[in-house]
Structure formats: structure tokens, C-alpha cells
Amino acid sequence: MLVVLLLFAAGVAGGAINAVAGGGSFLVFPSLLVVGVPPVAANATTAAALWPAGIASTIAYRKDLPTERRSLVVLCIASAIGGALGALLLLRTSDETFTKILPLLMLAASAVFTAGPRLSQRRKAGHLSLAAGAFVQLLISSYGGYFGGGMGILMLATFTLMGMTQLHSMNGLKTVLGVFINGAANVAFFAAHKVVVAVALPVAIGSIVGGFGAAAVARKVDPKKVRLLVLIFAWALTAWFFVNAYVR
């Protein structure tokens, strides 16, 4: 019972943080490791457990989606293909290899999350074409299907380089593409029996509760303060993974 409560709490915290500032997987993934889920399965289960909250967020953002349907369809297709490719690559990675790679993935995700505001606001004289943007999205989606930490920031940066300027529209698009990325990845994860359903359920329920609860108070919470707490935890976790993989 204590483990179920821990997982539910991790889901609530993860869903709330995703709704306010992003980075909820930094809490959920290590929680699954703590309760004994192997690294690859923990990564797959995290993606599956947070997916329902992503669908809920997509419904909330439905009115903010870009009106240009061609771009939306192309980016959704690129996201689904990339998510599936990343998931298949993860499934071909052993737990031992993933444990060695994990600190590097955490380092990259923490760095991207740290530089997020600057990345998502960066401008260039020329904008990426839809074809170029779709290719970049394919790469980001492949990373997302494999691990996913920080992929939302990378997507926002790409949208900016494609000439998008409306933040609500960009966040809505990011949420929809995240559903396609993780949805495609989840198909592969479930087919390979890598999702620990008994563990995923309490996290999923908690993430939905946390996501809806945070949405109600999001305007009263300073996202910068939440981001700072996530960053401290993410960098501490990165250091711990490095010590655990390469020093011990």
C-alpha cells in the first residue's frame, strides 16, 4: 500500500509540474527505479503513465492549436514516426547499457531544461521551412521515444525557428505532438511487455489529478520558482546517476 501511495504521489507531483513548468518525468522516472522497476522498463512505464495527462492537456489546449492544418498533420506524422523509432531503439538497449547511457541522457536533458527559456525565445533572420522543421521534429521525437527528458523545450525552440510567435499556440502544438510521440512509443512498449501496468496505473491516476489541480492554480504559481526546484532536483539526480554508473 505504501508503494502505491508513493507512486500516486509521484504522479500527482509529475502531472502538476508538467502543467506549470514541465519536467515531471524527472520525478516519476527515479520513483519507479526506487520501487525496483528495471531502468528500461521504468523509462517505458514513465512514458505510458504520463500519457493520459498529456491527453487531458491536449483537450484543454484544443482551442489554441495552430489553424494551419497542413503543418499540424505533417508534424504529427513526423512525431509518431520518431516516437516509434526511439522506442524501438530503447527496446534494443539492455538494462546494463541503458544504465551507462542514462547519466549522459540526464545531463543532456538537464542542460536543455536549464537553457529552455533562451532556446525557446531565440530568433533567426530566416525561418525553417515546414520540411526542415518536420525533419528536426523527427529527430526530437526519436529522442523523445527513447528517453524524452527536455523534449518539450526542444520542440518550443524548433517552433520558434519555424516562425511561430504565439506562446499558447506553441504550447498547444507541443502538447499534441507529445501525445503522438509517446502514443507511438507506448504501442511498441506495450507490445514488448515493457510497461509495468501495476506500477503505471497509480502514477497515471496521480498525474491526471495533479495536472487538473495545477491547471486550476497555474496562474497563481510562479513557473520560474517551480522550474528552479525542478532544475535543482534534475542536476542532483544527474550527479547521482553519474556516481552510481561510473564511480561505484
Rounded to 10°, the helix 39-60/95-114 angle is 40
Q: What is the pLDDT, as a whole number, of residue 128?
A: 81
pLDDT in 10s for each residue of the chain, 248 residues: 788 998 999 888 887 777 665 677 878 888 999 899 999 999 999 999 988 888 877 777 777 777 678 889 999 999 999 999 999 999 999 999 988 898 888 888 888 778 766 765 665 555 788 999 999 999 999 999 998 777 887 888 888 888 887 777 887 888 889 899 999 999 999 999 999 999 999 999 998 888 776 655 555 666 677 677 777 877 888 888 888 777 76
Residue 17: count other Cβ atoms within 10 Å of its Cβ.
26
Q: What is the pLDDT, as a whole number, of residue 122?
A: 61
Q: Decide if 24 contacts 13 (C-beta within 8 A).
A: yes
Sign of CA dihedral 32, 57, 111, 137: positive
Q: What is the CA radius of gyration of the chain?
A: 17
| Residue 219 CA from chain centroid, whole number | 22
pTM for the whole structure:
0.83
- Cell digits for 195? 510497461
CA distance 58 to 60: 5
The domains of the chain are located at 2-247
- Listing DSSP states for the chain in one string gives -HHHHHHHHHHHHHHHHHHHTS-THHHHHHHHHHTT--HHHHHHHHHHHHHHHHHHHHHHTGGGS-S-HHHHHHHHHHHHHHHHHHHHHHHTS-HHHHHHHHHHHHHHHHHHHHTHHHHHH---SSPPPHHHHHHHHHHHHHHHHHT-TTHHHHHHHHHHHTT---HHHHHHHHHHHHHHHHHHHHHHHHHTT---HHHHHHHHHHHHHHHHHHHHHGGGS-HHHHHHHHHHHHHHHHHHHHIIIII-
Q: What is the pLDDT, as a whole number, of residue 120?
A: 59
